[in-house]
Structure 1
Amino acid sequence: MEVVRRRVRTRQDLTQEVTVAQWLEEFLKRKRKIEETTRRSYEGHIRLYLTPYLGRIRLDRLRVGDVAGMFEQIEEFNDVIAERRASAEREVRASVKYRRAVSTATMHRIRATLRHALNVAIRQDRLIDFNPAAVLEMPAQARPKALVWTGDRVEEWHREFRDYRTAERARRGGRRVDPIDAYVRVPRPSAVMVWTPEQTRLFLEEARSHRLLALYRLITLRGLRRGEACGLRWKDVDLDAGSARIAWQLVQLAGQIHEGRPKTDASMRTIALDAETVTTLRGHKRRQQQERLAVGEAWKETGFVFTQPDGDRLHPQHVSDQFLWLAYLAGLPPIRLHDLRHGAASLMLAAGVEIKVVQETLGHTSSSFTADTYTSVFPQVAMAAAEKTAALLLGDGDEGRGVLRQLRV
């Protein structure tokens, strides 16, 4: 009887029974003016999780317990994946070869998609008057702490890397083990690892003869995202002024390349370029002109700074693959390409760059996020802060007395 009252109150068709799956399909149809990355995210959450677990439930009968049950089942399958991957039987391991455990962060994003879809059902169609996804309590979404590859951590990782390759070669009956596969499989102290300044220098030396050296240098020193680096256009670069405007990006979705503007206003920014990076970009431009002459009429005029040898758009995954090879050849412990961005922030802070400048360079929306994420990565940052504090209170020099005089004014 309550269902009938609700439908009368919200002016619904009393004969209509909308399921969660039906509504999610309708929700996607209505989301026309959204970024392609956001659309793919919605589609993935709906196809892989929301429809299989909740799709058959009537929309007006969806309860908090149903949503909680979905996440419990996802966590249970995470355990299954972990158990099967640890199995000694090849067939058992193969059954989850391409399945990845769903992280807490991903679960929060799945819940956000459902919450948004249900809010639309409330506001636009008045199909329901309660959003169970909005009140569900979930585990805290803690960001992994960035750690530096210190000497002890590097030594321990190399030992585990050697042991893994030896064990894997024995398991395969002496057959060759793909070094890059082993390189990325051996666990790291944290999901986010950062190279020291010396390790970063070794990487750039290894990349010196690579045709994408300028791209890796931009990411390493200026903290560009992968899509921003791949989407950098010559018309947005002023080599004489030593600046580049970040106004376009290339992103990879389901193996396809999509172009578009950065997602937030803060990501639309102009960055300064150091003299050596400008020199590197000039050399890259000359090399690109030589490639253009070499292919002649087959050249594809895309206007991008970083391209394939025929001028076509650069595939983001290729950039990541080449990065791993260069890091491996340099004998460095592994980090993700995106971790170069973390390293850039840490290097700037260790060099004494103000947090506001770091925030604007990275394209963050707030300096508090920048500070919370990066100020504790390099010990030098904390040490510099401690020394400045001590100098302020205890220093006998002119600098300490000058600061105190300013505070008294």
Structure 2
Amino acid sequence: MRSKETVAEYLRRWFTKRVDLKRSTRKGYNDHIERVFIPSLGHIKMVDLRTRPIQRMFEQIWADNELHAQNQLAADQALVAERAAHQAWRESTARPRPPALRQRWNEAKQELRTARAKPRHITGPGTQLKMRNTLSAALNDAAVEKLVTRNWTEDVVLPKYVKPKPLIWTDERVEAWRTTGTKPGKVMVWTPEQTGEFLDAVAEHRLYPMFHLMTFRGLRRGEAAGLPWSETNLNIGSVHISEQLVSSAYEVWEDTPKSEMGERTIALDSQTNDLLKLWRQRQKTECEEWEEENVKYHTTGMVFTWEDGRAYHPEYLSQTFERLVKKIGLPPIRLHDLRHCAATLCLAAGVHMKSIQKLLGHASYALTADTYTSVLPQFEHAQAEAPLLIVPRKRKQTNQAEPESKEHAGSRTGSQDEGAGAAA
């Protein structure tokens, strides 16, 4: 007997049994199912499902993207107009200010609110690929149950997704960014000089020990936020990464590291180890001060906390980092990109790629090697020069020919004259 189960009924049943998924993954799956799959495919019976309706679902996403891009452009233009109207009102020297200027500013604010109320979210190629993978996983199980004859996502065509690779903030890229305000890539990495400038500038900031740890040891944001003292051994200088704080909107929860290789023990460099010793003493002092004032101190056991012991929200750490980078005037990177800085610095210092894989907790060597094919410019130059050094040459090579001596030049000119005379 043919099953009458619809796509909506099956997807919800399939999702319910996927208790093996990490919490963050479950949230992503649920969003795909309820927001995208069921509105487009939910009414279809599983036995009638084919590739075409799935393809149409993604085609609708592409059409929505075009509309949302237009909405974003309109919102950007409305923001420029609102700021101009506000500036005109503020700079008016007339007292009282002309009511027309205030009215124009109010109109511009309303136009901005209207523009921002329209959908502007772009579902990029990476997210579309995740959506197809979610549906593919569900249809693989459906095929096992004989609900479908095959996985109908296999023939779906999507825009090509190229995973962004880290790019170095070279002088040329920094100059272009300062001129246009546009980042050359999604994932950017500071040079050693820029990294040093940042660390020097934030040396007195409360979060400096955490920034130092992430810069040189490559912890993820959630791994640093969720690092407990119980997994930190400052006698031998190491931290064991076994959990992280994950956030979605305002919700925060503890979870295991991102991949199977994510649980790892990391050796600390001497400076970071000393900083954490000082930080631990500071934290103990703050605890004593709060208790002396009969104010509750939150004993979370976390390494990096507020003065009252509360753990940091991961998103707050990112926002603080962004503000500091902007204040210092450095080219922008994300807090997560400090992890890429750590990997690139290790690579330039001669650390083997396999060791970098272990440091970062990547699931595979290929992932690490593929991600960090872009390295520091000075390291690339050293690699370019290396082959020259192993090839023996009798004659010294120069960038350009040495200038001829006057005697040799004159001799060559005389020979040419004699040849010309003989020819005549």
Q: Same fold (TM over 0.5)?
A: yes
- Please give the alpha-carbon distance, in whole angstroms, between the structure 2 residues aligned to 1:302 and 1:91: 41
1:239 paired with 2:234, answer: yes
Residue 188 (structure 1) aligned with residue 176 (structure 2): no
Per-residue CA distance 1:340-365 (angstroms, 9 max, x = gap): 11111111111111111111111112
Aligned to 2:128: 107
The structure 1 residue matched to 2:166, chosen from 124, 131, 146, is 146
Q: Distance between the aligned counterparts of 2:215 and 2:330, measured in 1?
A: 15
Secondary structure of the equivalent of 2:262? coil
Deviates more, 1:49-58 or 1:61-70: 49-58
- 2:229 is aligned with 1:211: no
1:143 counterpart SS class: coil
Would the aligned equivalents of 1:85 and 1:92 in 2 still touch at CA under 8 Å?
A: no
CA deviation map 1:275-301 (0-9, x unaligned)? 111111111111211221222261122
Q: Tell me by how many angstroms 1:102 deviates.
A: 0.8
Residue correspondences, number: 356
The counterpart of 1:158, out of the listed 159, 169, 178, is: 178
Q: Residue 165 of structure 2: SS of its match in structure 1?
A: coil
- For residues 16-165 of structure 1, what are the structure 2 equivalents within 5 Å? 17-87=4-74, 88-89=77-78, 90=112, 93-96=115-118, 99-123=120-144, 125-161=145-181
User: Could you tell me whether the CA contact under 8 Å between 1:211 and 1:284 is conserved in 2?
Assistant: no
Q: Which residue of 2 aligns with 1:174?
A: none
Following the alignment from structure 2 to structure 1, what is the Cα–Cα distance between the partners of residues 242 and 391?
Answer: 45
**Cα distance between partner residues in 1 of 2:172 and 2:385:** 26
Q: Is the Cα–Cα contact under 8 Å of residues 348 and 375 in structure 2 kept in the other structure? A: no
The answer to whether the Cα contact below 8 Å between 1:222 and 1:344 also exists between their aligned partners in 2 is yes
Greater gyration radius: 2
Q: Name the SS of the counterpart of 1:25 in structure 2.
A: helix
- Measure the CA separation in 1 of the matches of 2:37 and 2:202: 44
Three-state SS of the structure 2 residue aligned to 1:262 is coil
Superposed CA RMSD in Å reads: 1.9
Three-state SS of the structure 2 residue aligned to 1:259 is strand
TM-score, with normalisation over the residues of structure 2?
A: 0.80
Are residue 200 (structure 1) and residue 195 (structure 2) matched?
A: yes
How many angstroms does 1:136 deviate by?
A: 2.1
Structure 2 residue matching 1:258: 3-state secondary structure: strand
Deviations 1:183-207 (A, max 9, x none): xxxx311111111111111111122
1:232 partner amino acid: L
- Specify the code of the residue in structure 1 equivalent to 2:163: R
Runs of 4+ in structure 1 off by over 6 angstroms are: none
- Unpaired runs of 5+ residues, structure 2, are 79-111, 395-424
Corresponding residue of 2:403: none
TM-score (norm 1): 0.82
Distance 2:254 2:113 in 1: 40
Q: Distance in 2 between matches of 1:152 and 1:140?
A: 29
Distance in 1 (alpha carbons) for counterparts of 2:117 and 2:393: 65
Shift of 1:394: 4.0
Cα distance, 1:246 vs. partner? 1.0
Instruction: Tell me by how many angstroms 1:395 deviates.
Output: 8.7
1:92 and 1:63 mapped to 2: Cα distance? 40
Provide, for residues 257-310 of structure 1, a one-character-per-residue CA deviation record: whole Å limited to 9, x for no partner.
110221322111111111111111111111211221222261122211112222
Change (3 A) 1:191 1:263: closer
**Offset of residue 92 of structure 1:** 5.6
Q: 2:327 maps to which residue?
A: 329
Instruction: Provide the identity percentage.
Output: 41
> After superposition, what is the alpha-carbon deviation per residue over 1:13-71, rounded to whole angstroms, capped at 9, x for unaligned?
xxxx2221111111111112321111111111112211222222222212111111111
Q: Deviations over 1:194-238 (max 9, x none)?
A: 111111111111221111111111111111111111111111111
Corresponding residue of 2:401: none
Q: Identify if the C-alpha distance between structure 1 residues 241 and 69 changes in structure 2 by more than 3 Å, giving closer, same or farther.
A: same
1:265 maps to: 260
Counterpart code for 2:55: A
Residues 51 and 153, structure 2, Cα contact 8 Å, conserved in 1: yes
CA distance 1:103–1:298, shift in 2 (3 Å): same
1:285 equivalent among 262, 280, 283: 280
Partner of 2:81: none
Q: Distance in 2 between matches of 1:289 and 1:221?
A: 25
Give yes or no for contact 2:165–2:372 (8 Å, CA) kept in 1: no
Kept after mapping to 2: 8 A contact 1:121/1:128: yes
Q: Secondary structure at the match of 1:18?
A: coil
Aligned equivalents of 1:240 and 1:228: distance in 2?
Answer: 21
1:222 alignment partner, one of 207, 217, 225 = 217
Instruction: Give the whole-Å Cα distance in 2 for the aligned partners of 1:346 and 1:61.
Output: 51
Deviation at 1:322, TM superposition (A): 0.6
Q: Distance in 1 between matches of 2:360 and 2:115?
A: 40
